[in-house]
Structure 1
Amino acid sequence: MSDFSHSLAASTNALRAQSARLRHVSENISNADTPGYRRKSVPFETVQKNGQEVVQAGRVKLDRRDGSRIYDPGHPMADDTGHYRGSNVDLMIEIADAREAQRSYEANLKMFDQSRQMSSSLMELLRK
C-alpha cells in the first residue's frame, strides 16, 4: 500500500471516529432533559489494520455520575419526597465536545483532500 493510500485510510478512519463521537454528543444534547438519562461518551482506540495503526471509535461508555435531583411533586417519576432523578448531561461539556469533534473532523477532511490532490498531481506528472 502506498503512502497516499495509508494517509487516505488514516483520514477515513479518523472521520468515522469523529462522526461517531458527534452522533453521541447530539444524542446527549437531545436527551439533556430526559429523566434518568446517562451521558454517553465514545473513547478512541488505536487498532492495526493492514499493517497500519488507525484510530477508531471504541465501545460507548455511560457516565456513572448521578443525575441532578429535581423537585416536582406532580411528576410521574417523583418519589415520596417529590424528587426525581434528572439526566447527568452538562450542556456546556457537550457543546465543547461537539466543537472539538467538528474541528477534528474538518482537519481530517482537509488531510484527506490534500492526500487526494497530491495523488492526482502525481498521476498527472507520471502521464507526461
Structure 2
Amino acid sequence: MSDLIKSMSVAASGMQAQSQRLRHVSENIANADTPGYHRKTISFRDAVDGEGVRPGPVRLDRSDLVKIFDPGHPLADDSGHYDGSNVDLVIEIADAREAQRSYEANLKLFDQARQMTQSLFEILRG
C-alpha cells in the first residue's frame, strides 16, 4: 500500500516540476522581444529523500544577445544597434512540448496508482 502512495507522490512531484518548467518557458516566450532579456533555464534533481524530483535553481542563459539594427530605437547605440534577447522560439516550443508530455506521463502514472489504490480498498472492504 505504501508503495502505491509513494508512486503517487513521485508522480505528483514530477507534475509540479514540469509545471514550473512550463512557467519559465512561458516567461521566455512572452519576453522574446524584450531588449536585454536572458532566457531562463531550469534543471531537475532527485529529492533529498529519494522520493521524487525537485526543480533546481533557475539560471539565466548567458549566451550572447542578438544585436538588432534599429537606429531609431531609444536603446540604440551610436552604431544604431541594441541588444535583443537570446530566446529562440523554436527551442522554447520544443521545451514546452517536452514539458507537456512529461506532465501527461506523470499524470497517467498518478492515475494508475490512484486506481490501483482504489481497487485495493475495495478488495479489503469486500
Matched, 1:16 2:3: no
Displaced runs of 4 or more, over 4 A: none
Letter in 1 for 2:18: Q
Name the residue aligned to 1:27: 27
Does the CA-based 8 Å contact 2:6-2:51 persist in structure 1? no
Per the TM alignment, residue 67 of structure 1 is displaced from its structure 2 partner at its CA by 1.1
In the TM superposition, residue 5 of structure 1 has moved relative to its aligned partner by 1.0
Q: 1:96 is matched by which residue type in structure 2?
A: A
Q: Give the equivalent residue in structure 2 for 1:88.
A: 86
User: One-letter code of the match for 2:65?
Assistant: G
The size of the alignment, in residue pairs, is 126
What TM-score comes out, normalization by structure 2 length?
A: 0.97
The residue number in structure 1 matching 2:57 is: 59
2:72 counterpart residue number: 74
- Read off the aligned partner of 2:2 and give its amino acid letter: S
Give the share of equivalent positions with the same residue, in percent.
Answer: 64
Report the aligned-residue RMSD.
1.0
Distance 1:54 1:115 in 2: 15
